[in-house]
Amino acid sequence: MKTYFIEFSYLLASILFILGLRGLSHPETARRGMHLAEFGMVTAVIGTLLQREIISYEWIIAGLLLGSTIGLAMGVWVPMTAMPQRTALSHAFGALAASLVGVSEYYLHGAKLGEFRMSAVGFEVLLGSLTTTGSLVAFAKLQGLVPGTPLTYKGQNIFNLSLLGVTIGCFCILLFHPAAAALFYLMLGLAFIFGILLVLPIGAADMPVVISLLNSYAGLASAATGFAISNNVLIIAGTLDGGSGFILSIVMCKAMNRSITNVLFGAFGSVTETAAATSTGDMREANLGDVGVQLAYARQVVFVPGYGMATAQAQHALRELADALEDRGVTVKYAIHPVAGRMPGHMNVLLAEANVPYSQLYELDHINPEFPTTEAAVVVGANDVVNPDARDNPQSPITGMPILEVDRAKLVVVLKRGRGKGFSGLENPLFYKANCEMLYGDAKDSITRLTQAVRQA
């Protein structure tokens, strides 16, 4: 009877995971999708705790309490602006768990593992280990503990590929000689090192793609864990996670007009001279009162949020400005670029936190045709996603990348902390155009003062 209940719980959990993933495909159903996935995970955990293989529950309870405490603390105290870092840490924890399960299986069974189980154990350890350290490096870059610019050295790609080749070689030998424990632990160590070296040369501007790709790796490692310990729900959940993460990586690379190989090995952001060559003239500083009047009497205003909005935690202030404009009959829209921010959907999450109606969020293809007839576009801390060099300068590193064409609006107001370049290190010629004005300072403070100016206009 217990066996039937366990299998039923796994089947129910798998169905809930699929429905949850489907719900996450649209913002209006995302909350329901998350609840379904959460219930599915609870169901899977209950089924697993009833397995006959469990001898003692002491360590399981201790781990449950510790993990729940850490998860609760992260959920409560980590701000929405730090979601990319928290996501990277979650990937690291999940991948490390998968890797430790593989190490445990090998330690317990070693030479008794057949080719199939050895391949599953080796794959989960290899992929889980490189995902663990790669995710930690991604966290360090996003948190500012490691420079966000690509860290490269001569012959790096050749060395990394050689290291990967040796690691895979160890894996292949283990398939036929599973008793070679030294090779197993050598593969484990090399995979940890490769994860670090894989992410170090990737610029912080590419972190959205890296995070989704690491999510895919963690999912595939979990699926391999399922094969190693004969757990069906892990196979299904890991495959869903791995497949969706990989598809998201492809979609985001397409949004940047880049290939995955270019992201992983291109060291994007290390060369900026070609982009800077097109930037001439002076940046014109805006008069806050004049901007407030122009916004107040505009027909349509389009907000373009970027990572600067996240760091300033200005999403609530931006919603207040939008409310003030709407009270005066101004049409307000938000232009969302697929790779704005530091993780997939970063801007959508922040704006949802500020209760911005989803109907006001417009994707790149839908909003770009409206910019020529838009009186004012307000760019809040975005740089690369509004850089016209992607469209106009064939020599730019971002040439061909789809952008939000705010430079076609009648007035562009850019909120920036200072005169520095964007996260990718590229100069933006938009800031020098005749229709562009710069509003320097903390974005939250600037938006609050803009709201007052609009109400007084």
Of residues 321 and 209, more confidence is placed in 321
Structural domain ending residue among the three candidates 77, 112, 139: 77
DSSP state at residue 385 = G
CATH number at residue 306: 3.40.50.1220
Report pLDDT for 266.
58
Q: What does the pLDDT look like over 392-430, one tens digit per residue?
A: 888 877 777 888 999 999 999 999 887 666 555 678 889
Of residues 23 and 261, more confidence is placed in 23
Q: What does the pLDDT look like over 427-443, one tens digit per residue?
A: 888 999 989 999 988 89
Of residues 81 and 399, more confidence is placed in 399
State whether 438 and 296 are in the same domain.
yes
State whether 342 and 416 are in the same domain.
yes
What would the mean pLDDT of 25-47 be, rounded to a whole number? Answer: 87
Structural domain ending residue among the three candidates 213, 243, 270: 270
Averaging pLDDT over each range in 5-9, 127-131, 307-311, which range is the top one? 127-131
Write a three-state SS string for the chain. CHHHHHHHHHHHHHHHHHHHHHHCCCHHHHHHHHHHHHHHHHHHHHHHHCCCCCCCCHHHHHHHHHHHHHHHHHHHHCCHHHHHHHHHHHHHHHHHHHHHHHHHHHHHHHHHCCHHHHHHHHHHHHHHHHHHHHHHHHHHHHHCCCCCCCCCCCCHHHHHHHHHHHHHHHHHHHHHCCCCHHHHHHHHHHHHHHHHHHHCCCCHHHHHHHHHHHHHHHHHHHHHHHHHHCCHHHHHHHHHHHHHHHHHHHHHHHHCCCCHHHHHHCCCCCCCHHHHCCCCCCCCECCHHHHHHHHHCCCEEEEEECHHHHHHCCHHHHHHHHHHHHHCCCEEEEEECCCCCCCCCHHHHHHHHCCCCHHHEEEHHHHHHHHHHCCEEEEECCCHHHCCHHHHCCCCCCCCCCCCCHHHCCEEEEEECCCCCCCCCCCCHHHHCCCEEEEECCHHHHHHHHHHHHHHC
State whether 85 and 209 are in the same domain.
yes
Catalytic residue among 241, 384, 389, 407: 384
Q: How many Å apart are CA 314 and CA 116, to the nearest integer?
A: 52
Q: Is 206 a catalytic residue?
A: no
What would the mean pLDDT of 26-33 be, rounded to a whole number? Answer: 81
State whether 126 and 191 are in the same domain.
yes
Q: 């990967």: which residue's tokens? A: 164
> Do residues 420 and 382 touch, judged by C-beta distance below 8 A?
no
State whether 69 and 104 are in the same domain.
no
State whether 124 and 262 are in the same domain.
yes
Q: How many Å apart are CA 101 and CA 128, to the nearest integer?
A: 10
What would the mean pLDDT of 29-44 be, rounded to a whole number? Answer: 90
Q: What does the pLDDT look like over 102-159, one tens digit per residue?
A: 999 999 888 788 888 899 999 999 999 999 999 999 999 888 888 877 788 888 889 9
Structural domain ending residue among the three candidates 77, 106, 122: 77
State whether 362 and 414 are in the same domain.
yes
Instruction: State the total domains in the chain.
Output: 3
Of residues 322 and 311, more confidence is placed in 322
Distance of CA 260 to the CA centre of its chain: 15
State whether 220 and 310 are in the same domain.
no
Q: What does the pLDDT look like over 224-270, one tens digit per residue?
A: 988 888 888 889 989 998 988 888 888 777 776 667 776 666 554 44
Q: What does the pLDDT look like over 65-80, one tens digit per residue?
A: 998 898 888 888 887 7
Q: How many Å apart are CA 249 and CA 252, to the nearest integer?
A: 5
Query: How many helices (H) and strands (E) are present in the chain, helices listed first?
Result: 18, 6
State whether 138 and 249 are in the same domain.
yes
Does the structure show a pLDDT above 70 at 334?
A: yes
Q: To the nearest 10°, the Cα dihedral for 22, 310, 361, 363?
A: -80
> In which domain, by residue range, is 41 found?
1-77
State whether 248 and 126 are in the same domain.
yes
Report pLDDT for 272.
44
Give the lowest-confidence range in 87-91, 324-328, 451-455.
87-91
E runs forming strands in 232-330: 300-305
State whether 85 and 20 are in the same domain.
no
Q: How many other C-beta atoms lie within 10 A of the C-beta of residue 182?
A: 8
Q: What does the pLDDT look like over 257-293, one tens digit per residue?
A: 667 776 666 554 444 444 444 456 678 888 888 999 9
Q: What does the pLDDT look like over 162-203, one tens digit per residue?
A: 999 999 999 999 998 888 999 999 999 999 999 999 888 887
State whether 264 and 158 are in the same domain.
yes
pLDDT class of 1 with cuts at 50, 70, 90: low
